Amino acid sequence: MIRDRRPAPASKRDSGLADEAEGFLLAYAQHDQAQREAEELCARMPWLTTAQAEELTGHYVRRRLDVTRDLLLTTAMRAGQLRREYEARYASLRRALLKRHAAGVCAVLVCVGGTSALARPFTR
């Protein structure tokens, strides 16, 4: 007996772990980008003391991450809203298509019934 050697589909747990890892990597990349931007900003202000530059860098990074988090949450909420709207529209279109198909089948059955009723006297 030959066994199927195809890989098993990823489970929900594996998918969740991958999503979590991707989120961590994205957050880390955003933090690094904000850190670089803050350092570039401080480099253009040579009069800042080291403590002031560190404080400004920390404040900039925190604020930038807050803005990024808010933007991502807003985007996720909008995506959920659009998904619900599209699913409702899809369900509506499916119902309309089902009604049209049912009406078409009924019309065909009526035509077949009428044709056979009309043809019956001629076949006797």
Region 14-30: what's the mean pLDDT?
88
Q: What is the CA radius of gyration of the chain?
A: 32
50-65 pLDDT, tens digit per residue, is 999 999 999 999 999 9
Which range is least confidently modeled, 23-37, 57-71, 85-99, 109-123? 109-123
Token pair belonging to 122 = 């001629």
Angle at 54 between CA 51 and CA 39, to 5 degrees: 135
For 87, half-sphere exposure in the C-beta direction (CA atoms, 13 angstrom radius) is 6
* b/e 48-78 (16+ beta carbons within 10 angstroms → b): beeeebeebbeebbeebeeebeeeeeeeeee
Q: pTM of the entire structure?
A: 0.63
